[in-house]
A and B are shown apart, each in its own frame.
Chain A
Amino acid sequence: MITKDEVLKLAALARLDFSDDELDKIIKDMDDIIAFADTINNSVEGDADKIRNVSSKATPAEEFREDVVKDSLPNEKILSNVNGSKGMFCVKGGI
């Protein structure tokens, strides 16, 4: 069972706030979902420890992107989804 403290810690990491009512609900939901997630530990016949690392093929570093400059976008575009100020993203208040 997940504790209220654990849920509050997760919520803080995820930057989410739950009211007291919501907290009861999310604790219950988390319990259900974690119990469901726990079923990965139910052993499956013939599966016990056969972990086969098949998808970890690595790509030669030489095939990655060339270091060639491309045009950046104009400041108006960068700020087009927000009320910016002085060419910057801007939030009232400190941090």
Chain B
Amino acid sequence: MKEIIAPLSKLLSSKEISSVELTEKYISEIEKDNKKFNAYVSTTFDKAIENAKVADSMIANGTATALTGIPMTLKDNICSDGDLTTCCSKILEGFRPYYDSTVWSKLKSQGAVMLGKTNMDEFAMGSTSETSCYGAPLNPRNVNHVTGGSSGGGASAVCANLAAYALGSDTGGSVRQPASFCGIVGLKPTYGAVSRYGLIAYGSSLDQIGVLANSVKDTATVFDAISGVDANDQTSVDFRFGNISDSLGQSDVKGLRIGIAKEYFEGINPELKDAIDSAVKFFEDNGAEIIDISLPVLKQALPVYYIIACAEASSNLGRYDGIRYGYRTENFNDVEEMILKTRTEGFGDEVKRRIMLGTYVLSSGYYDAYYKKACLLRENLIADFDEIFNTCDVLIAPTAPNTAFPLNFTGASPVDMYLSDIATVPINITGVPAISVPIKNDSNGLPIGMQIIGKKFSEKTIMNTAYFYEKNAQIGVEDFDGGVVL
């Protein structure tokens, strides 16, 4: 896979191109191609040029960092001061936060250039990005297919070279799954590794900001820039990762203990299973030790995830009442009616379903049977993962049981769609990090992703493992031809 960030940075530092010129290239490609992919839902081109000017002066005065002058994008649920941030929901119509998220303020201070906000499932609730109020983003690999979700716009933009990298959010797979669908790299960091301040909440105990990029190296560079403890997020953790980007390639996989849980491969498309098997074989051939393990609780992970995520969402989304920001209904007689109509008109069906389920599992009489039980099972899953990581350095699993769905694919019920998150949600429930890397295309030419999972704060290990694969294995997913190509 192609590295983009370091080569662009080199061009910038050697003054072969200025950040303003580079930014203008991206802007003109977005203006040309965004209608094809619907990746961006709002653009901040004026701000991008301003960011680029700052970057150029940083380059000129020698204060540039690895990301200075590189154009990127934020998911539409990550706040930046004065810019539209709507979670692709009508209820946040016109909403411009008046503060910066911690991730954006970190990147901005390092000279990043923000092109705009990218498409997503409404409030990150979905696996295809089709619940967006702006319509679905399309998969650059095949525009008749979805990008996956919920960070589908970011995956689409990065794949189509309409941004050098994107920040997304991953509550149950929303960075990794679209990355796998679009044939790029997606990292879901350890819960607490990256500040959530300014990320509009879906499921607070599961949400984590992640990176979508074209290569493991790019991913590591961005992770290095955004990770770290934050006084504005008490759940962020002061863990010193060191510079992971520089550490890549310094180790091989000899002696690496790779766990394979058989439950991860039950009910998976055989084509995907074969692809993962051969990737595992590659590691084995290079000296890794493959350990077969069993994780029976994985079967419960999916309902546990939906119960906890929806419970938290039902609470997090209570604040959209039309009083302080966003959409407000036209006709009403009193405040109560205004709130009811605003929410009824402002939220889409999937969001309403999840709010209703969340309200149900928390309501008196059901709390113990659902929410509390789910929290206890979550503890079990965490304990099981802890045990596994006593004997394994990483786990390898598919990112999704399938490749990108065709557009407008609907199962028999909402639950059918939930089932496709089976491989990604355990990671959020247990808070561990995982990275999805492309391995090959399926017979329809759609990319297949592999998940490399590690214990908490083992980002360095999983990224080094992914990097080794990316550098040395035969990857059957081509670079996308289009957008800003150097």
Chain A positions within 8 Å of B, measured between CB atoms, are: 2, 7, 9-11, 13-18, 26, 28-30, 32-42, 44-47, 50-56, 64-65, 73, 77-78, 80-82, 89, 91-95
Q: In whole angstroms, how far apart are the Cα atoms of A14 and B231 in the complex?
A: 32
Are B307 and A16 touching (Cβ within 8 A)?
no
Are A94 and B334 touching (Cβ within 8 A)?
yes
Are A16 and B343 touching (Cβ within 8 A)?
yes
Q: 1/0 per residue B215-235: CB within 8 Å of A?
A: 000000000000000010010
Are B415 and A55 touching (Cβ within 8 A)?
no
Are B307 and A17 touching (Cβ within 8 A)?
no
Are B380 and A47 touching (Cβ within 8 A)?
yes
Are A17 and B344 touching (Cβ within 8 A)?
yes
Q: Which residues of B contact A53 (CB under 8 A)?
A: 379
Are B303 and A10 touching (Cβ within 8 A)?
no
- With A33-B353, A41-B373, A51-B376: A81-B95 Cβ-Cβ less than 8 Å: yes
The interface size bin for chain B is 35 or more
Q: Which residues of B contact A10 (CB under 8 A)?
A: 356, 359-360, 363
Residue of B321, B325, B374 with most partner-chain A CB within 10 A: B325
Are B380 and A26 touching (Cβ within 8 A)?
no
Are B344 and A40 touching (Cβ within 8 A)?
no
B25 within 8 A of A: no
Q: 1/0 per residue B71-98: CB within 8 Å of A?
A: 0000000000000000000000011101
Nearest A residue (CB) for B326: A81
Are B314 and A14 touching (Cβ within 8 A)?
yes
Nearest B residue (CB) for A59: B234
Least CB distance from B308 to A in Å reads 11
Nearest A residue (CB) for B82: A80
Count of CB-CB pairs between chains A and B under 8 Å: 144
Q: In whole angstroms, how far apart are the Cα atoms of A9 and B303 in the complex?
A: 23
Nearest B residue (CB) for A46: B296
A-B contact pairs, 12 of them (CB 8 A): A10-B360, A11-B356, A37-B307, A37-B370, A40-B300, A40-B304, A40-B307, A44-B299, A52-B380, A55-B379, A92-B338, A94-B335
Are B415 and A93 touching (Cβ within 8 A)?
no
Nearest A residue (CB) for B413: A32
Other-chain residue from A37, A41, A51, A54 in contact with B357 (beta carbon distance below 8 A):
A37
B341 within 8 A of A: yes
Nearest B residue (CB) for A84: B324
Nearest A residue (CB) for B370: A37
Q: 1/0 per residue B296-329: CB within 8 Å of A?
A: 1101101110110000001000100111111000
Nearest B residue (CB) for A31: B413
Nearest B residue (CB) for A55: B382
Other-chain residue from A9, A16, A65, A78 in contact with B344 (beta carbon distance below 8 A):
A16
- With A36-B306, A44-B297, A51-B379: A13-B359 Cβ-Cβ less than 8 Å: yes
